[in-house]
């Protein structure tokens, strides 16, 4: 019996109690939930339904809980129901009902854990969006791992998600990039405000190879070629490195397109219609202070130049007009000040900032080697890049390490820890279960042990304490996925997988799955193989949500 099925049983019992007592059935919810008690001694599941309904129908909670417990006790699969505190229901399932979950999971396969919790929501998820002036640094890599995992979670819970990379190919930083490339091609040092690192020389050399005439042109013409060609080469490299990291986007959106299509003027007109623009000192301002911002924001300078914030406004409007109800933007730790102005901007467009715009801020990441932070990349010169991280610990460990922590917490990634083939390495600990469950399956086949037909599955034989513990852990997965999507927290999946891995290891150590020697294959062996294979399904499903592999061998 799954938690969802038990919740339906609880609600059905409530309907029966209300009918017997002549209580107002309109007070009953359309659905309810059950939860795992913090203390396993309190039962398999707990329900607070009696507490929730007590005031609505004017019946003391313990009296209502007693009636519900009596009714629940008659339900198939329910072993016992105890009343705790003011009216909590602690429910224990019999072994057969609990064990059926293994069959449910194996038969569901990749679908186990998926739901329609966020069905109907159209979400635009923007992440990474690093400027094409250098390789993706380690802070951006965090968003690559977390953002991609979040997109998988949102889709797994029914949301219609569009992932997006905002390609900033306009503005002063691109001009500095072009000047840096030109200087490198001419054998000159980088401009004082320019970019350094070996990658600049590499890209400059490639531009000269493609356009050998560039060094014979005047400075302005040469710089324009380095801008166009250099940005194209840099962004191709960014896309390639992200692809190798397992991250691809539905849309790569060019900022320059906003300017070329007149989208900034369109956004300005919309904000003017809403009555939130004013002119001062020759500049055009957006009155964001009306919606809680600490100061009003310039959209167009007195010299006619657009500000970055004007492009932000146009880009937000574009997303909304493409039909996305909710715009989620992931930004680095140095962008915390953007939240107020962006929320105010959404309000200026007439949107609800709490419903239509969500901004997630990620904290810093440090790569440690021998206990000391790695400060610089051999290639980039000033930052640690995606390639540096992957070279140090690999793709799977990188993605898992970055997704394992709440995005609002700083991370120190210790190279020695995350490359260690021991249980204190979290990704190894989880992947080892994936490999071990697959190994059990191979070994079972060699000795002629198969699960057999589902109709012959004896769930009631899974009565060992460690089997029950593992079943309860497996049952948590759908709720974990739903919560992780709702709370924008892929780390909840990672931490769950580690708990599940622990439960499996304890099951494996205490409950022999394979027959010894010439021992006859029994229904218990088959039942335990169902449980082993169910664990393999859930581990693989969870790792897939994080973009991490579930190896069959290690």
What is the pLDDT, as a whole number, of residue 25? 83
Closest CA to 503 of 130, 36, 81: 36
Average confidence (pLDDT) over 199-208: 93
Cβ atoms of 403 and 141 closer than 8 Å: no
pLDDT at 55 over 90: no
Q: Is the pLDDT of residue 302 over 90?
A: yes
DSSP readout, 471-519?
HHHHHTHHHHHHHHHHTT-THHHHHHHHHHHHHHHHHHHHS--SPPTTP
**pLDDT (tens digit, 9 = 90+) per residue, 78-115?**
888 999 988 888 998 888 888 999 999 999 999 999 99
How does pLDDT run across 503-525, given as a tens digit for each residue? 999 999 999 999 988 899 999 99
| Residues 225-243, mean pLDDT to the nearest whole number | 93
Q: Whole-model pTM above 0.85?
A: yes
* CATH of region 99-115+422-546, choose from 3.30.470.10, 1.10.3720.10, 3.90.700.10, 1.10.730.10: 1.10.730.10
Q: Across residues 458-471, what is the average pLDDT?
A: 94
Strands (E), 71-155: 78-84, 88-93, 122-126
CATH homologous superfamily of 127-258+363-419? HUPs (3.40.50.620)
CA-CA distance, 293 to 100, in Å (whole number)?
55
Q: Is residue 87 within 8 Å of 460, Cβ to Cβ? A: no
User: Do residues 258 and 264 lie in contact, with contact meaning Cβ atoms separated by under 8 Å?
Assistant: yes
Handedness of CA 386, 389, 393, 398 (dihedral sign): negative
Is the pLDDT at 377 greater than 80, yes or no?
A: no
Q: According to CATH, where is 3.40.50.620 located in the chain?
A: 127-258+363-419
The pLDDT, as a whole number, for residue 28 is 86
Q: Kindly report, residue by residue over 396-434, the tens digit of the pLDDT.
A: 999 999 999 999 899 999 999 999 999 999 999 999 999
- What does pLDDT average to over the chain? 92
DSSP per-residue letters across 333-367? GGGTTHHHHHHHHHHHTT--HHHHEEEEEE--EEE
Residue closest to 207 by CA, chosen among 239, 188, 231: 231
**What number is the average pLDDT over the span 295-302?**
96
Main-chain dihedrals φ then ψ at residue 205, nearest 5 degrees:
-65, -35
pLDDT at 73: 87
Structure tokens at 227: 């801008």
CATH 3.30.1360.70, applies to 3-93: yes
Q: Across the beta sheet with 326-332, what order do the strands follow?
A: 251-254, 160-167, 122-126, 326-332, 357-362
Rounded to whole angstroms, the Cα distance separating 219 from 198 reads: 22
| Nearest Cα residue to 145 out of 396, 472, 483, 435 | 396
pLDDT of residue 376: 65
- Closest to 44 measured CA to CA, from 78, 68, 13: 78
- In the sheet with 297-300, reading across from the earlier edge strand, the strands are 277-280, 283-286, 297-300
Q: Which DSSP letter does residue 30 get? A: S
CA distance linking residue 480 with residue 546, whole number of Å: 13
From-to residues of CATH 1.10.730.10 in the chain = 99-115+422-546
Q: What percent of the chain has pLDDT over 90?
A: 70
pLDDT at 379 over 70: no
CATH 3.30.1360.70 placement within the chain: 3-93
CA distance 470 to 304: 65
């Amino acid at each position: 019996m799954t938690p969802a099925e038990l919740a339906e049983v609880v609600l059905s019992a409530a309907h029966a109690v209300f009918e017997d007592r002549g209580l107002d059935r309109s007070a009953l919810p359309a659905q309810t939930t059950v939860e795992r008690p913090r203390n396993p001694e309190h039962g398999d599941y707990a329900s607070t339904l009696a507490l929730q309904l007590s005031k609505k129908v004017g019946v003391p909670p313990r009296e209502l809980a007693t009636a519900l417990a009596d009714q629940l006790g008659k339900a198939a699969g329910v072993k016992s129901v105890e009343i705790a505190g003011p009216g909590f229901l602690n429910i224990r399932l019999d072994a057969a009902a609990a064990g059926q979950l293994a069959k449910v999971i194996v038969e569901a396969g990749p679908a186990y854990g998926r739901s329609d919790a966020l069905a109907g929501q159209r979400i635009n998820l923007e992440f990474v969006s690093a400027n094409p002036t250098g390789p993706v640094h380690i802070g951006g890599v965090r968003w690559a791992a977390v953002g991609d995992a979040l997109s998988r979670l949102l889709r797994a819970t029914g949301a219609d998600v569009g992932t997006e990379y905002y390609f900033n190919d306009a503005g002063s930083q691109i001009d500095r990039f072009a000047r840096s490339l030109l200087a490198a091609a001419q054998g000159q040092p980088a401009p004082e405000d320019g970019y350094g690192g070996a990658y600049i020389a590499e890209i400059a050399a490639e531009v000269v190879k493609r356009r050998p005439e560039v060094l014979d042109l005047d400075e302005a013409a040469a710089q324009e070629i380095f801008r166009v060609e250099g940005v194209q080469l840099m962004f191709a490299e960014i896309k390639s490195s992200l692809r190798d990291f397992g991250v691809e986007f539905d849309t790569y959106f060019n900022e320059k397109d906003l300017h070329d299509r007149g989208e900034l003027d369109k956004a300005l007109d919309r904000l003017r219609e809403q009555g939130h623009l004013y002119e001062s000192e020759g500049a055009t301002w957006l009155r964001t202070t009306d919606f809680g911002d600490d100061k009003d924001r310039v959209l167009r300078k007195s010299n006619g130049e657009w500000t970055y914030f004007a492009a932000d406004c146009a880009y937000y409007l574009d997303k909304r007009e493409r039909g996305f109800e909710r715009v989620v933007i992931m930004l680095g730790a140095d962008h915390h000040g953007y939240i107020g102005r962006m929320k105010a901007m959404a309000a200026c467009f007439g949107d609800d900032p709490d419903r239509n715009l969500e901004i997630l801020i990620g904290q810093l990441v440090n790569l440690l080697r021998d206990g000391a932070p790695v400060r610089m990349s051999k290639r980039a010169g000033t930052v640690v890049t995606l390639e540096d991280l992957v070279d140090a610990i690999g793709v799977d460990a990188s993605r898992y390490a970055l997704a394992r922590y709440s995005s609002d917490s700083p991370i120190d990634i210790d190279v020695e820890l995350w490359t260690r083939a021991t249980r204190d390495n979290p990704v190894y600990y989880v992947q080892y279960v994936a490999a071990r469950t697959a190994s059990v399956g191979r070994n079972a086949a060699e000795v002629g042990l198969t699960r057999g037909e589902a109709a012959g599955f004896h769930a009631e034989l899974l009565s060992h304490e460690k089997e029950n513990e593992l079943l309860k852990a497996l049952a948590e997965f759908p709720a974990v996925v739903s919560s992780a999507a709702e709370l924008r927290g892929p780390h909840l999946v990672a931490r769950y997988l580690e708990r599940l891995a622990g439960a499996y290891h304890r099951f494996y150590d205490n409950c022999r799955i394979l027959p010894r020697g010439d021992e006859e294959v029994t229904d218990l062996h088959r039942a335990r193989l169902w449980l082993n294979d169910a664990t393999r399904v859930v581990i693989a499903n969870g790792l897939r949500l994080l973009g991490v592999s579930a190896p069959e061998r290690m």
